[in-house]
Amino acid sequence: MLLRHSAIDAVDARVLLRTTLGVSDAHLIAHASDALAADHAEKFAALVARRAAGEPVAYLVGEREFYGRTFAVSPAVLIPRPETELLVELTLERLPRNEAKRVLDLGTGSGCIAISIALERHTAQLTATDKSAAALTLARQNAQQLGARNVAFKTGDWFDALHEDRGEKYDLIVSNPPYVAEGDAHLAQGDLRFEPASALSASLDGYACLNAIVDGARAHLNRGAWLLMEHGHDQAASCRNRLRAAGYAEVQSWRDLAGIERVSGGTFDDTRPVPVN
């Protein structure tokens, strides 16, 4: 089988060939000299052409690894990114095992954050929201496929999704909201061109959703509970300022594996004065 293809890189070609044939890597290696059947060759060529035109591999194969598990993805959701695993790690550090803590994941997309947490902490109760019905359909499929029974899904924009549970409080709120500034050059490059703009970019230089979450979370956090948010490579200081101004305590940022401040958060402290502006 021909793995080298001039239009795309060899690793991508191998992944697309595996998808075409529905086989494992080991099978591909063992059968490296087999000829491709005509229908497979045609299907493979079509995938290669789409990849050459820029479509993300994750969308072409319909899945992506995250925190050690395989999640189904589609163009309705952001492709899970390795740096987002930091949000899962920070959440797990704050969730003792065998306790029925309540965790809210805002803007869940494929569900990768909420489902990873749910599977690592079976006694935790996860609520995962998204305003996109298509995203929630996929997230529910992922939860079922991966056996996560402790996640409830709700449709709506940020805290509006909780309208039936007005006044519900959580022990931790986590979110990877859209935070890229509208018009940012990165949106016109690579995989981002094919991902839902609503999952990537936000108004106010990318801060509209981060700010809405910082402000809205106060009404839904138990005293001392953490809010943890992913943000862009240059947004950590502004996020910390916003968290402090909104009265959060223990405000800090954490670096991803690339050394970039990628997550910021703080704890809800209702003994502090509520800001007036």
- Nearest residue (CB) to ligand GLN, 66 versus 179: 179
CB of 106 to ligand GLN, least distance (A): 11
Q: Tell me which stretch binds ligand GLN (CB under 6 A): 7-15, 110-118, 174-182, 240-248.
A: 174-182
Stretch of 136-144, 157-165, 173-181, 266-274 lying at the interface with ligand GLN (CB under 6 A): 173-181
Q: Give the CA distances from residue 157 to residues 153, 154, 161, 223, 275, in Å, rounded to whole numbers and listed in that order.
A: 13, 10, 6, 24, 24
Nearest to 226 by CA among 130, 85, 103, 125: 103
Sign of the torsion formed by the C-alpha atoms of 224, 228, 233 and 238? negative
Among 178, 216, 265, 266, binds ligand GLN (CB under 6 A): 178
Binding of residue 81 to ligand GLN (CB under 6 A): yes
Closest to ligand GLN by CB, 51 vs 262, is 262
**Between 81 and 102, CB nearer to ligand GLN:** 81
Shortest spacing between CB 186 and ligand GLN, in angstroms: 6
SS3 assignment, position 38:
helix
Q: Yes or no: say if 237 and 207 are a contact pair by the CB < 8 Å rule.
A: no
Which part of the chain contacts ligand GLN (CB under 6 A), choosing from 152-160, 171-179, 234-242, 243-251? 171-179
Contact positions toward ligand GLN, by CB under 6 A?
A: 78, 81, 176, 178-180, 192, 200, 230
